[in-house]
Each structure stands twice: as structure tokens, then as C-alpha cells.
Amino acid sequence: MDEYHIPVLLEESIEGLNIQPGGTYVDVTYGGGGHSAKILEKLGAGKLIAFDQDIDVMGNIPDDDRLIFVQHNFKYIRHFLRYYKIDQVDGILADLGVSSHDFDVADRGFSFRFEGNLDMRMNQSAHLDASKVINEYDEAQLWTIFQEYGEIKNWRHLVSTITTARSNAPITSTGQFLKVIAPCVPAKIEKKYLAMVFQALRIEVNNEIGVLSDFLETTLDLLKPGGRLVVLSYHSLEDRLVKNFMRSGRIDGKLENDFFGNSTSPFEVITRKIITPSEKELALNPRARSGKLRIAEKK
């Protein structure tokens, strides 16, 4: 499992779940199975439901009667828990990062380090891929993607460069895309800039912000009182959503007060300060650098 993906903040995440031996838990982003394996170690006679839409993870699933694996996007969590006659759970874990495996497989198109198809789909049967976004979205749509999802400062220049190039020939590979946008890339922050560009495309292709928002709101009903929500995020857009939701029970972060002016947030925030990887962990896994862990408990 570790060769597929090294789990980020593993011990801290599992401690945050506060696992009870007979409890029911959900890992909505199974990936290489590192977090799930640790949950199963502590679970006793409990139950773990794990979600992942990526067909590549199928080889990482252990033969364990306590594990129910669901090969679907975690936005369907409510539907599948109802299917398995589970009303509420004791804890939900979400690691929102892309697995190391996906970054390292050239044909998936997640990384600018490899020549491959301009794809970026988590679900290989999905219709929308990065090539369609680059070649078919209009300028205004591309502006929004690179400005909001990538926080690219020269987004106007980037979009203009892309639309000019695609008018001559479709852009279908990562190598071709990199050549097209080369004039836009600041030399001093080349890798960081490219990472932000690819991040923006990946978020759009997989509707990551919409899925996360829907998922967070769903957890309110699915968690038992005292149940824990543990979320690992990797960029500011995700972290802001998670922070707002854990603070207020709302995606917009607005706190509602009762008649006496007291906060009516459905959560108690366990992590007043976000947890980030230690220097020791970063030495072993540099890709963990942007990880941010937040934990909340339902009142």
C-alpha cells in the first residue's frame, strides 16, 4: 500500500477520529488504503465503509469482513450508507489529496513532469477531461478556473495564450500544453506556477469544490453526536471551506446565534490551530508539505 501512496499525517488523522472498537467509520478517499488500514487496526468488531471512484485502487483492498468498499465518488455517501442500512456513523475521514500513484502515472495527466494525455479524471469513465476544458471552454470560463482555482496572477495572459494556440490545433497532451503556456511561466517560480495551473484544471475536471461542499453539508446528518469529522486538505480553497464549515456548520462560515446571542454551531472544533506535517514526516514524504488537518466533533 505504501508504494502506491504514503498517507499524510497518518497518526494525527487516526487519533483525531477517536476510534471506538465497535464503532462505524467512513474513509471517503481510500486511495492506497493507508488510513483505512490504520482504522482497521484499531476497530475491533466495528465497521469501515471506504469510498474511491478510481479503478486503480482495486488492487489495494484487503480481504476483511469489516470493510465495505464502494467504488463511487464520496458525494454519494448518503445514498450508499442508506443502502447498507447505516443511519449514522462515529467518524468520517476525508483526505482530499491526489494519490502519489496518480501523479506518477503519465497517462493520467495529473503531473507536468510526464508526457501523457491531458486527462486528469479521477473517474476514468467521466465525460469531462482536461483536454475538453482547455479546448472547448470559452475565455470567461477559463478565466474563472485559473483565477479562482489556481490563484494564477497572470490569468488573462495565460488564457489568451491558450485560446490563441488552440485556434490553430487542439491541445491534447501535457507536453503540448506545457509548450503552449511556456511564455506565461515565471522563471523564478516555474514549478510552483505549473503546479497551480494543473491544480486548477484538476479541480474543474473533477468538480472538487462542488463535491466537497455537498459532502461537508451531508456530514451533519450522518455523524452521531460525539462523532468526529477529520479532513486533510491541500490548497487554500479546500481549507477555507473546511474551516468555515467546522466553525459554523455552514459552507459560508456564517455563525447563527440563539435568542441569547450564543453560537449555535453544531460542531466543537478540536483543532483550534491546523495540524501540519512535522519536519520528520516531510523528510520522508516531501509531497505532504501542503497538507492541513482539521478535526471537529459533532455536538
Task: Show me where the domains of the chain are located.
Answer: 10-100+208-298, 127-205
Question: In Å, how far are 40, 46, 87, 299 from 21, measured between CA atoms?
Answer: 9, 6, 18, 21
Which pLDDT value is given to residue 115? 83
The pLDDT value given to residue 110 = 53
User: Which residue in 121, 105, 101 sits closest to 113, CA to CA?
Assistant: 105
Total length of the chain: 299
* Averaged pLDDT, groups of 10, the chain, 299 residues long: 70 98 96 93 96 83 96 94 97 83 47 77 88 97 96 97 98 95 96 92 94 96 98 94 96 83 87 96 91 97
- CATH superfamily to which 10-100+208-298 belongs: Vaccinia Virus protein VP39 (3.40.50.150)
Architecture per CATH, 127-205:
Orthogonal Bundle (1.10)
Residue 187 grid coordinates: 522563471
Domains 10-100+208-298 and 127-205 are alike in CATH topology = no
